[in-house]
Amino acid sequence: MAIEIVKDDQWQLYGKRFNSRLLIGTALYPSPQIMQQSIKASQSQIVTVSLRRQSPENQGGNSIWEFIKQLNCELLPNTAGCHSAKEAITLAQMSREIFNTNWIKLEVIGDEYNLQPDPFGTLEAAEKLINLGFDVFPYCTDDLVLCQRLHDVGCKVLMPWGAPIGTGRGLMNSYALQTIRERLPNVPLIVDAGIGKPSHAVQAMEIGYDGILLNTAVAQASDPIMMGQAFGEAVTAGRKGYLAGAMTKRQTAQPSTPVLGTPFWHQTN
């Protein structure tokens, strides 16, 4: 009889249920066709889109926009490129009108060098957007207090970074990320930014994160389609590893075959 390993591992984001725990961006691909095939290979059900890049209201990026619509994925518009709360709120309102969704990935950049989000602007914009009826996915650093404040103002999903956007450095501070997980046990947590390899995604999922959001690691791989598939599988593997429960680390070696009770054979002359 076949054994079903994980019966139902769907997760819920603002009342919507999904099977895939990978969220993927639509920028930087060599072509719209490769973008579409890569996302399909990843089996992601949520894609991020930028109003500034697509501009569907002005028929801008029309070819790419058509490929995105054909994916039949949930859209997560973002406020990429905004440097103030006011700017992000204005762009979010435009995105809601154009994309017909209350979902918004909130980005308020505070530093141009490492694209670190502005914690004060992010918190201000998040609170105002929630009061305007938005479902906010805030991109933030791995600061526990900031994550707590964002949750307090009404963010039901949090997205701390693994590393600065586009660096591919993986989890630079796994201790900080794990602390957020432990202190906010019932909040959906998504690692957003800095993931460069499938092994980074596995690591994040194994410490209990609920999902991964990435773009560059797939879009700029030598083979984006294969890399999309690899990340989809990595997220699933990491999630199963977390649910299964990893063995405890030990300081000393321990044989996998027990010695006690094992018969010893000796030769007699």
* Number of neighbouring beta carbons within 10 Å of residue 211: 25
> Residue 202 half-sphere exposure, CB side, CA atoms within 13 Å?
10
Q: 105 an active-site residue? A: yes
Q: CB–CB of 48/76 below 8 Å?
A: yes
Which residue has tokens 């390993």?
A: 5
Starting at the edge strand found earlier in the chain, the sheet holding 46-50 runs 159-160, 135-140, 103-106, 74-78, 46-50, 22-25, 211-214, 190-192
Say which of 105, 156, 197, 249 is annotated catalytic.
105
Provide the angle, in degrees to the nearest 10, between the axes of the packed helices 224-244 and 198-206.
20
* Tokens found for residue 170: 């993986």
* Tokens found for residue 106: 């909130």
Residue count (the chain): 269
Which residue has tokens 């984006």?
A: 224
Q: Give the CA distances from residue 147 to residues 33, 181, 207, in Å, rounded to whole numbers and listed in that order.
A: 37, 10, 17
Rounded Cα distance, 254 and 55, in Å: 60
Task: Give the residue numbers marked as catalytic.
Answer: 105
